[in-house]
Copies of this chain bind each other. A is one copy, B any other.
């Protein structure tokens, strides 16, 4: 159960670090905090204060993670101004950032299955049909692809 290799050339070179797309992508996302910032972006968080409140990491760590994502062009700062307040920036996913949705979703769905053993606190469903969201590896060209805005977060528990 592993991938096939086309030829000797690929066999000899596929592990070279300079050719490894996974290693290079992980360099951009480097730390766990960075992944969690990304998660929050998909959850709709955009302001620094909210990142601080919603991620178990310190403000300096989050500042570093946001800088990192910004320099990787995964996140971009956009100005906003609350009524009566001075202009500030918020952090939004770029199109490249949006394209990381499969990474975030597949990590989450794997944990739902193997850590929460199929009874996760939250599920992701199609906002209109209620169908569960899946991440699949496929060679089919015609798969209807969901965007983050098509996805709804559903709680599977109640609090007292």
Bin the interface of chain A by size.
Answer: 35 or more
Q: Say yes or no: is A85 at the interface (Cβ < 8 Å to chain B).
A: no
Q: A114 — nearest CB in chain B belongs to which residue?
A: B96
Q: Check if A44 sits within 8 Å of B135, measured CB to CB.
A: no
For this chain, the copies found in one complex come to 2
Q: Check if B139 sits within 8 Å of A136, measured CB to CB.
A: no
Instruction: Render A90-110 as a binary contact track against B, CB cut-off 8 A, 1 for contact.
Output: 000100101111111111111
Q: Check if A136 sits within 8 Å of B145, measured CB to CB.
A: yes
Q: Say yes or no: is A40 at the interface (Cβ < 8 Å to chain B).
A: yes
Neighbour of A153 across the interface among B10, B22, B39, B144, CB < 8 A: B10
A36 CB contacts on chain B under 8 angstroms: 20, 22-23, 26
A13 CB contacts on chain B under 8 angstroms: 121, 155, 159
